[in-house]
A and B are shown apart, each in its own frame.
Chain A
Amino acid sequence: MKIFSNKNFVAWYFVFPVAFIHLFVIGIPSLASLALCLTDWRGLGEINYIGFENFIELFDDRYLKKAIINNVIWTIAFLTVPVGIALTCAYLLTGIKRGQMFFRLAFFFPYMLASVINCQIWKYLFHPIHGLGGFFERIGWDLLAVSPFTMKSTSLFAVAFVDGWHFWGFLVVIYLTGMYQVDNHLYEAADIEGATKFQKFRYITLPMIRPVFVFSIMIIIIWSVPVFDYVYILTGGGPAYSSEVIANYMYSQAFERFDVGYSSAIGTLMFFYVMIIVALFGLFRKAGWDI
């Protein structure tokens, strides 16, 4: 009985609830999924072990291939456009004195909004008759006359744009916290040497904010994997799978076709990809990258 009043054991009481709830909701179902991906289970009836058949099927699935390519495009798009805009805005913000707080709040506020709200706003704005299309027509421009969500060539980018519009303000704030830690003397010295604005950014700001920058790159890569809300709400992956992403495809396999084994295989693939990314960044840190 003594062990239960032991100080060390009491300390464990405090961690137990979190560990229990997390294991119950996320840990054990995750393990179940890692096991179910080797079966042909459909949610009911017998569970048959079928080895790696789901994965073989997976590599033959052209819709999944399309979804994976779209996720890669999505990741690249997010690593460039919002990062570029956010770096520019954060850098410009450090150069002004008045109104800094206003800009910061204005950029950040869309990040606070629910995906349903952002989607509704942009569904309206991209509406060909109402929204921007109708406005441009009235002033005689032939712009956005068709909703970009409904065209095969643009649907993925239109959805990514809406998510990016909501997300980039978050990056501005992250970069700003890094930039405020840069010593002002460095800029003053560069001014005396006659450095241009871009040179100062390239040779002082960027190296100094490397830790936050690498952090932002890592979370963008990780967060680009389970993208779901915006695709599901705006296009449902269409038209003709042009904006399909892995998470949305997996959702339809799971909850429309009830193919538990197959959807678990997709989930397993996503999980290992994310873990590899996390491990890579961990290795970089160990290798002295100062992240």
Chain B
Amino acid sequence: MIVAKYRSREVISNYIILIIFALIAILPLAVLIFNSIKPQMEFGVNPLGPPSEIRFENFSEAWVKGEYAKVFFNSLKLVTGSVFLCLAVSLAAGFSLAKLNPKGSAIIAVYLLVGISIPAQLYIVPLFLLWKEIHLLNTHIGLIIIYTALNAPFATFLIRSYMIRLPDELFEAARLDGANTFQLFFRVALPLSWPVILTAGLIISLAVWNEFLFALTFISEEGFKPMATILFAFQWRFENNYALQSASAIMMVAPVAILFMLFQRRFISGLTSGGLKG
């Protein structure tokens, strides 16, 4: 009995500490949600609490003033372009490194591993000048190529570690039936790899949607900017209009939150398996 009592006391103290930390993680987000539906007038008297009157017009006002229809489209273009290009090249490379193992491919693997830890500050200036030279500054395709390169090492290793577990017998059997290497890739490897394709696609989308440094550096023209840098500009343009600022922030968070609710396990396992800082 004494043991049981001690145990339950211990469990309660565990919960109390965990709840405190959960509140520290979540309450700031709750304030952001409250602020996004709060009338601007109310900020002076009620900075943190829930709004007295729910005002969804903040969203429509922010949507119009920030021209978010276009900004959303810009971000969406970057995300889909990067996901497709990055998945295409990473799937091919992951397949080759997992199942074909051409002589000397270890060099590529080592190169990509080193590539993951090169700080962007080393190459961003020459890259900027190169992009200027070949007229890729202020274009979405230029940024898509950069995002592909940034995320490809991680995606390649994630895909490789998945494909390596596919049974070799399948590939040998297909080979005996006369399939060439491309058919092995398209007919055997790809259809079996949809779980890792989904995980990698989600992680790349998140990384591109949230990315700041390269979007800031390579897109200076207002009309081409994605969510992240527009929101940054918005914070200066409407410095004291917290209702508009918060509503725009919620618009950027909402897609992430929805996808996270649907695919929590994939996000968590994908993000913790590689080395990817959000």
Interface set of A (CB-CB < 8 Å, partner B): 7-15, 17-19, 21-22, 24-30, 32-34, 36, 43, 85, 88-89, 92-93, 95-96, 99, 102-117, 120-125, 127, 129-132, 134-135, 165-166, 169-170, 173-174, 177, 197, 219, 222-223, 225-226, 228-229, 232-233, 246-247, 250-251, 254-255, 260, 263-264, 266-268, 270-271, 274-275, 278
Given known contacts A8-B102, A124-B242, A271-B118, is B93 in contact with A15 (CB within 8 Å)?
yes
Among A15, A89, A255, A270, contact of B122 (Cβ-Cβ < 8 Å): A270
B149 contacts chain A at the CB level, 8 A cutoff: yes
The CA of A164 and the CA of B140, in the complex, are separated in Å by 31
B14 and A130 form a contact (CB under 8 A): no
Given known contacts A22-B112, A92-B18, is B120 in contact with A117 (CB within 8 Å)?
no
B129 and A43 form a contact (CB under 8 A): yes
A14 and B121 form a contact (CB under 8 A): no
The CA of A88 and the CA of B180, in the complex, are separated in Å by 53
What residue of chain B has the Cβ atom nearest to residue A163's Cβ? B277
What residue of chain A has the Cβ atom nearest to residue B113's Cβ? A278
The CA of A99 and the CA of B21, in the complex, are separated in Å by 14
What residue of chain A has the Cβ atom nearest to residue B90's Cβ? A18
A125 and B118 form a contact (CB under 8 A): no
Contacts of A263 in B (CB 8 A): 121, 125
Given known contacts A25-B149, A29-B130, A107-B22, is B10 in contact with A117 (CB within 8 Å)?
no
The CA of A34 and the CA of B122, in the complex, are separated in Å by 8
B156 and A18 form a contact (CB under 8 A): yes
What residue of chain A has the Cβ atom nearest to residue B231's Cβ? A116
Chain A interface: which of B56-64, B166-174, B248-256?
Answer: B248-256
Given known contacts A18-B93, A21-B152, is B260 in contact with A112 (CB within 8 Å)?
yes
Contacts of A96 in B (CB 8 A): 11, 14-15, 18
B10 and A95 form a contact (CB under 8 A): yes
A27 to chain B, nearest CB (A): 7
What residue of chain B has the Cβ atom nearest to residue A5's Cβ? B180
A22 and B121 form a contact (CB under 8 A): no
B224 contacts chain A at the CB level, 8 A cutoff: no
Chain B interfacial residues counted at CB < 8 A: 94
The CA of A12 and the CA of B122, in the complex, are separated in Å by 28
B141 contacts chain A at the CB level, 8 A cutoff: no
B213 contacts chain A at the CB level, 8 A cutoff: yes
A17 and B89 form a contact (CB under 8 A): yes
A202 to chain B, nearest CB (A): 17
Chain A interface: which of B66-74, B191-199, B264-272?
Answer: B264-272
Contact code string B128-156 (vs A, CB < 8 Å = 1, else 0): 11100000000000000110111011001
Given known contacts A114-B228, A170-B271, A260-B129, is B181 in contact with A7 (CB within 8 Å)?
yes
Contacts of A226 in B (CB 8 A): 119-121
Interface set of B (CB-CB < 8 Å, partner A): 10-11, 14-15, 17-18, 21-22, 24-26, 28-29, 31-32, 35, 43-44, 47-48, 88-90, 92-93, 95-97, 100-103, 105, 108, 111-112, 114-115, 117-130, 145-146, 148-150, 152-153, 156, 180-182, 185, 206, 209-210, 212-213, 216-217, 227-229, 231-232, 235, 242, 245-246, 249, 252-253, 256-257, 260, 264, 267-268, 271-272, 275, 277-278
A117 and B249 form a contact (CB under 8 A): yes
B210 to chain A, nearest CB (A): 4
The CA of A195 and the CA of B178, in the complex, are separated in Å by 64
The CA of A246 and the CA of B217, in the complex, are separated in Å by 17
7 closest pairs, A vs B, by CB? Answer: A25-B149, A11-B102, A14-B96, A11-B100, A114-B210, A29-B123, A29-B126
A81 to chain B, nearest CB (A): 12
Contacts of A229 in B (CB 8 A): 212-213
Given known contacts A15-B97, A233-B232, is B117 in contact with A222 (CB within 8 Å)?
yes
B212 and A116 form a contact (CB under 8 A): yes
The CA of A170 and the CA of B78, in the complex, are separated in Å by 26
Given known contacts A103-B22, A120-B245, is B127 in contact with A29 (CB within 8 Å)?
yes
B123 and A17 form a contact (CB under 8 A): no
The CA of A271 and the CA of B124, in the complex, are separated in Å by 12
A22 and B149 form a contact (CB under 8 A): yes
A89 and B18 form a contact (CB under 8 A): yes
A112 and B213 form a contact (CB under 8 A): no
A34 to chain B, nearest CB (A): 8
Given known contacts A107-B22, A112-B256, A275-B117, is B210 in contact with A267 (CB within 8 Å)?
no
A117 to chain B, nearest CB (A): 5
What residue of chain B has the Cβ atom nearest to residue A133's Cβ? B47
